Amino acid sequence: MVSKGILGLGGAAFGLILTAGAALAEPARSGGTLTAIVQPEPVILTAALNTAAPTGVVSGTIFDGLVDYDRDLKPIPALATSWETAPDGLSLTFHLRPNVKWHDGQPFTAADVKWTLENVWTKIHPRNQVTFGKVTGVETPDPLTVILRLGQPSPAILSSLNSNGAQILPKHLYEGTDPLSNPYNNKPVGTGPFKFKEWSRGNHIVLERNPDYWDAGKPYLDRVVFRVLPDAAARAAALEKGEAQYAPLSPVPLKDAARLGGLPNLRVETTGYEWLSPWLFADFNVERGPLKDVRVRRALAQAIDRAALARVVWFNFGVPATSPVPSTLTDFHAKDTPAYPFDTKRAEALLDEAGWARGANGTRFSLEIDYIPYGDDFKRTAEFLKASLRRVGVEANIRSQDTPSYTRRIYGDRDFDIAITWFAAFSDPQVGVTRAYWSASVGKNIPWTNGSGYRNPEVDGLIAAVQGEADPAKRRALFRRFQEIVLTDLPTLPLLELKFFTVEAVGLRHGARGDQVYGSFRDFRFDGPAPGQSRASAN
Amino acid sequence: MRMPAGGSAAIRRLAQMVSVVVGIAVVNFFLLHLAPGDAAQVLAGEAGSATPEYIAALRAQFGLDQPLGVQFAKYLAKVLTLDLGFSVRQGLPVAQLILDRLGPTLLLMGASLGFAVLAGGALGFVAARHAGRPLDTAISALALLFYATPVFWIGVMLIVVFSVWLDWLPVGGMAEIGTGRTGLAHLGDVLRHLVLPALTLALYYLAIYTRLTRAAMLEAYGQDYVRTAVAKGVRPRRIAYRHVLRNALLPVVTQLGLQLGAILGGAVLVETVFAWPGLGRLAFEALFQRDLNLLLGILLCSSVVVVLANLAVDLLYAVLDPRTARA
């Protein structure tokens, strides 16, 4: 049990909570096949090169990160056994786990970390170019030590080091190639608990147990099969029938989730998404029409009953948001920021004051709402907004389109009034929140950046300052000021903190880390007979 | 090719076919480039975050940074050398992606169309022979019901009844994964997975063929040669088979030709509901992902199949009705 280390303790602690303690006495049951659902089908299987959710789900158990995150989003050891930041914040040292092997038998060393950082994270990774932007050099004094030299303190690095945030690629297979078109992107070689075996496109991805995994005795399962099931009703049927036992990332419509959770063989979990901390919001286009006026934006905010939105549209898989920094980010979320409680009278007064009196037909003005086409929930959010705005005399027209047309319209052509979308905040708002407000990305046709067109030099300055601030207290203060300003100017209206959910078999047991959705399946096991037990391999 | 000028007619026909296919390829290329957004933007969009450098790297990798004219010239050169190119998104050659999906598509479409033509033809035949009587009414009503019910709804209902409630058949996919079955056991497994999607699709087609056969036969019954045959005292059963059905097959074959032409398009809805790895889903997803190379490849193959199916129908006409060969 020594080798379980800190992670095992964390997992056991949650196991205790989840299973009321009784299960701890049982020996870990080994073997069986876990059938999971991944949807849509991943593009490639290396999260270092594609940060989309389906890739993250599959890739997360083939690769390990330097660390994992617990439910308080604190790092826990994985490939790195320990790490320390220099007192001046200008260097970060990682001590790597010895005797870790890639799936092809080559040793995992500091050279892999250095190569991936220099060639992937800071060159092509969409988020890490900023996160690791202050790294001036990487030193590897011995094969198990990595030292990052930093031009400025970069505390956000420590929040992005799991296998999704900063996935390490095997240098010996990638060096000298174009990483984006390397064939190993489709047949990945990692260090994780499961090895890639087969990918039948449109069908399934099969992973097999890694017998040489560094965490001795793990993983418990023999095999993991990811099935591609494009239809939501078929996903629900497969789960209900037990053909699949694990389906992350809200695999069925919200109204089906309650029904499935009520079945004796299934449960619905909302833990494991803390590292993502998704938030739903509406971008106001501050560059055109009535929404240029902050009074109008505040009026529209007060016309929307966010508690009702959470209840009616999102079936309580979401809570009203008061800030772009979700409350799950306890270190950074600011309370007592400017609030916009639901108050239609106040909204109407503000609109009158802004010079938009009701016309002869009761309408003040009309505008266009576009929503991210990721399913009915977002469409119904748009319909909810339309109905809310009509009550205060604002007519809205809802437009539908596919994703590339949507991102082009919002982030390129900027031909919209209100855009509904969601971002992952991640565990440091520098990674997932500030991008919605940074002026440099306006109109550059870069998806999921600043959609409102908001330009505020003070906010830009704060965004730059948090990236280089080492003192946690000062950083918190900077983020607090940031939240106060953007909630005063209100270019973006935070609507809900979303709760993604996993549907899983009641017999499936695993610790719930804060990044479990993109984490490894090393702790997964079945109570009682496991599916596919008869084919269990000897090792 | 018993025609006098057979050789030159065949060459003319071939040239016609090639120019149609190339014409379609050219139109497709420009039509698809009218869609807003490109594959790089879609990938960046799905990634949930992006930087200008990331998108630029993707565009360069995909060749999307070149002028449209250059992209078109490259594409045309590839089409003319029968090279379908590379799917930038999937990282695999388009030809391989299509070939991987070809078997499942042909199996699903073949099984459902075959069943639909045979069963639909038989039902239409029976209905026509009992025209106006209760059996005809029952068959027509059933056909109308199948035709009017949305395909995806039938699919989901079949899953609920036969997979979830009765637990007789699997929910989706094409074979149980990782069982290592071979030979007959594997075939049986695939057939078990095939039943529901093929039936779902067949019920829709079946309605078409029932109505078509019935109408064509009733029309043939009104013809002079049938009256002559009746007057000669030919037995009704023989009239139905030899004189009426054979002539009624022409519109059925025409319809079958049209549907065979669309076979590569697959059946998006049924493939989606049953997670069947067919070409329809591949094309549908390629469109949303702006994977234009892949989409163009599928459309090109489809156009080739349409042209070939037309040719096959023309030849079959000549067999069924020798008069058309001389036309």
Which has more confidence, A345 or A539? A345
Q: Is A400 helix (H, G, I), strand (E, B) or coil?
A: coil
Looking at the fold, whether B31 and B168 belong to one and the same domain comes out as no
Number of structural domains chain A divides into? 1
Looking at the fold, whether B46 and B188 belong to one and the same domain comes out as no
Which has more confidence, A9 or B45? B45
Contacts of B43 in chain A (CB under 8 A): 43, 50, 52
Give the residue from A201, A405, A438 with the most B CB atoms within 10 Å of its CB, the best one to mutate: A201
Q: What is the mean pLDDT of residues B22-27?
A: 87
pLDDT for A508 equals 92
Task: Specify if A440 maps to a domain.
Answer: yes
Task: Specify if A528 maps to a domain.
Answer: no
Q: What pLDDT, in 10s, does the model give residues A131-161?
A: 898 899 999 999 999 999 999 888 889 989 9
Comparing alpha-carbon positions, the chain A residue that sits nearest to B157 is A233
Interchain CB distance below 8 Å, A201 and B90: yes
pLDDT for A39 equals 81
Q: What is the mean pLDDT of residues A521-539?
A: 66
What average pLDDT does chain B have? Answer: 83
Task: Specify if A147 maps to a domain.
Answer: no
User: A2 pLDDT band (50/70/90 cuts)?
Assistant: very low
Interchain CB distance below 8 Å, A200 and B274: no
Q: What is the pTM of this model?
A: 0.83
Least confident residue range of A220-229, A456-465, B215-224: B215-224
Task: Specify if A84 maps to a domain.
Answer: no
Looking at the fold, whether B48 and B160 belong to one and the same domain comes out as no
Using CB atoms, pick whichever of B44, B163, B174 lies closest to residue A203: B174
Whether residue B1 is predicted with pLDDT greater than 70 in this model: the reply is: no
Kindly state whether B50 is in contact with chain A, defined as any CB-CB distance less than 8 angstroms. Answer: yes
3-state helix, strand, coil in chain A (%, to 5): 35, 20, 45
Cβ–Cβ < 8 Å for B43, B318 = no
Q: How far is CA A124 from CA A57, A159, A166, A275, in A?
A: 20, 19, 12, 22
Count other Cβ atoms within 10 Å, centred on residue A305: 18
Domain extent, residue B197, equals: 100-320
pLDDT for A530 equals 67
Q: Is A222 helix (H, G, I), strand (E, B) or coil?
A: coil
Using CB atoms, pick whichever of A201, A228, A435 lies closest to residue B275: A228
Q: What is the mean pLDDT of residues B176-184?
A: 72
Task: Specify if B145 maps to a domain.
Answer: yes
Q: At what angle do helices B94-129 and B134-148 cross, to 10 degrees?
A: 160
Q: What pLDDT, in 10s, does the model give residues A48-68?
A: 988 888 899 999 999 999 999
Q: Is B47 helix (H, G, I), strand (E, B) or coil?
A: helix
Task: Specify if A406 maps to a domain.
Answer: yes
Looking at the fold, whether B206 and B277 belong to one and the same domain comes out as yes
Looking at the fold, whether B149 and B287 belong to one and the same domain comes out as yes
Looking at the fold, whether B130 and B270 belong to one and the same domain comes out as yes
Name the residue among A391, A429, A401 with its Cα closest to residue A277.
Answer: A429
Task: Specify if A291 maps to a domain.
Answer: yes
Give the residue from A231, A273, A422 with the most B CB atoms within 10 Å of its CB, the best one to mutate: A231
Residues 275-294 of B with CB under 8 A from A: 275, 277-278, 281-282, 285, 288, 290
Whether residue A12 is predicted with pLDDT greater than 50 in this model: the reply is: no
Task: Specify if B47 maps to a domain.
Answer: yes
Whether residue A10 is predicted with pLDDT greater than 50 in this model: the reply is: no
Cβ–Cβ < 8 Å for B72, B29 = yes
Whether residue A383 is predicted with pLDDT greater than 50 in this model: the reply is: yes
pLDDT for A22 equals 39
Q: What pLDDT, in 10s, does the model give residues B74-118?
A: 888 888 888 888 887 777 888 888 888 888 888 888 888 899 899
Task: Specify if A151 maps to a domain.
Answer: no
Q: What is the mean pLDDT of residues B169-182?
A: 75
Domain CATH number, residue B273:
1.10.3720.10
Region of A288 (left: φ > 0; alpha: ψ -120 to 50; beta: rest) is beta
- Nearest Cα of chain A lies from the Cα of B14 at a distance, in angstroms, of 35
Domain CATH number, residue A455:
3.10.105.10
Whether residue B279 is predicted with pLDDT greater than 70 in this model: the reply is: yes
User: B153 pLDDT band (50/70/90 cuts)?
Assistant: confident
Q: What is the mean pLDDT of residues A351-378?
A: 92
- Nearest Cα of chain B lies from the Cα of A357 at a distance, in angstroms, of 37
User: A326 pLDDT band (50/70/90 cuts)?
Assistant: very high
Whether residue A13 is predicted with pLDDT greater than 70 in this model: the reply is: no
Q: At what angle do helices B94-129 and B183-221 cross, to 10 degrees?
A: 50
Whether residue A74 is predicted with pLDDT greater than 60 in this model: the reply is: yes
Q: What is the dihedral of CA B297, B303, B308, B314, to 10 degrees?
A: 170
pLDDT for A29 equals 54
Looking at the fold, whether B124 and B273 belong to one and the same domain comes out as yes
Comparing alpha-carbon positions, the chain A residue that sits nearest to B274 is A234
Whether residue A20 is predicted with pLDDT greater than 50 in this model: the reply is: no
Q: What pLDDT, in 10s, does the model give residues A421-442?
A: 999 998 889 888 998 999 988 8
Q: What is the mean pLDDT of residues B299-310?
A: 85
Least confident residue range of A325-329, A446-450, A532-536, B310-314: A532-536
pLDDT for A393 equals 94
Looking at the fold, whether B203 and B274 belong to one and the same domain comes out as yes
Whether residue B256 is predicted with pLDDT greater than 90 in this model: the reply is: no
Using CB atoms, pick whichever of B47, B100, B159 lies closest to residue A52: B47
Backbone CA torsion sign across A438, A443, A447, A451: positive
Whether the ipTM is more than 0.85: the answer is no
Q: What is the mean pLDDT of residues B262-276?
A: 79
pLDDT for B179 equals 67
Interchain CB distance below 8 Å, B171 and A125: no
- Nearest Cα of chain B lies from the Cα of A197 at a distance, in angstroms, of 10
User: B147 pLDDT band (50/70/90 cuts)?
Assistant: confident
Beta-sheet strands, E only, within chain B? 86-87, 92-93
Interchain CB distance below 8 Å, A234 and B52: no
User: B3 pLDDT band (50/70/90 cuts)?
Assistant: very low
pLDDT for A403 equals 82
Looking at the fold, whether B164 and B285 belong to one and the same domain comes out as yes
Our measurement of the distance from residue A76's CA atom to the centroid of its chain's CA atoms, rounded to an integer in Å, reads 18
Q: What is the mean pLDDT of residues A333-341?
A: 93
Q: What is the mean pLDDT of residues A398-403?
A: 90
Which has more confidence, B273 or A384? A384
Whether residue B154 is predicted with pLDDT greater than 50 in this model: the reply is: yes
Q: What is the mean pLDDT of residues A282-304?
A: 95
Whether residue A15 is predicted with pLDDT greater than 80 in this model: the reply is: no
Task: Specify if B112 maps to a domain.
Answer: yes
User: B62 pLDDT band (50/70/90 cuts)?
Assistant: confident
Backbone CA torsion sign across A21, A25, A30, A32: negative
Comparing alpha-carbon positions, the chain A residue that sits nearest to B160 is A237
Looking at the fold, whether B304 and B269 belong to one and the same domain comes out as yes
Give the residue from B32, B38, B42, B46 with the most A CB atoms within 10 Å of its CB, the best one to mutate: B46
Task: Specify if B1 maps to a domain.
Answer: no
Name the residue among B219, B273, B218 with its Cα closest to residue B108.
Answer: B273
Task: Specify if B92 maps to a domain.
Answer: no
Task: Specify if A475 maps to a domain.
Answer: yes
Which has more confidence, B272 or A212? A212
Whether residue A386 is predicted with pLDDT greater than 70 in this model: the reply is: yes
Task: Specify if B95 maps to a domain.
Answer: no
Which residues have a Cβ under 8 Å from the Cβ of B242 and sit 6 or more positions away? Answer: none
- Nearest Cα of chain A lies from the Cα of B12 at a distance, in angstroms, of 40
User: B325 pLDDT band (50/70/90 cuts)?
Assistant: low
Task: Specify if B89 maps to a domain.
Answer: no
Name the residue among A337, A370, A367, A386 with its Cα closest to residue A451.
Answer: A370
Task: Specify if B327 maps to a domain.
Answer: no
Kindly state whether B91 is in contact with chain A, defined as any CB-CB distance less than 8 angstroms. Answer: yes
Interchain CB distance below 8 Å, A124 and B159: no
Q: Which residue has the tokens 């826990």?
A: A76
Domain extent, residue A356, equals: 278-498
pLDDT for A9 equals 37
Which has more confidence, A29 or B39? B39
Rounded to whole angstroms, the Cα distance separating A395 from A367 reads: 6
Which phi and psi (to 5°) does residue B232 adopt? -70, -15
Whether residue A496 is predicted with pLDDT greater than 90 in this model: the reply is: yes
Looking at the fold, whether B52 and B116 belong to one and the same domain comes out as no
What average pLDDT does chain A have? Answer: 88
Give the residue from B59, B61, B165, B177 with the most A CB atoms within 10 Å of its CB, the best one to mutate: B177
Kindly state whether B103 is in contact with chain A, defined as any CB-CB distance less than 8 angstroms. Answer: no
Q: What is the mean pLDDT of residues A228-246?
A: 90
pLDDT for B77 equals 86
Q: Which residue has the tokens 């979700």?
A: A326
Q: What percentage of chain A reaches a pLDDT higher than 90? A: 66
Interchain CB distance below 8 Å, B51 and A130: yes
Count other Cβ atoms within 10 Å, centred on residue B198: 24
Number of structural domains chain B divides into? 2
Rounded to whole angstroms, the Cα distance separating B64 from B47 reads: 19
Peptide bond into A219 cis (omega under 30): yes
Whether residue A25 is predicted with pLDDT greater than 70 in this model: the reply is: no
Using CB atoms, pick whichever of A44, A203, A447 lies closest to residue B173: A203
Rounded to whole angstroms, the Cα distance separating A200 from A194 reads: 17
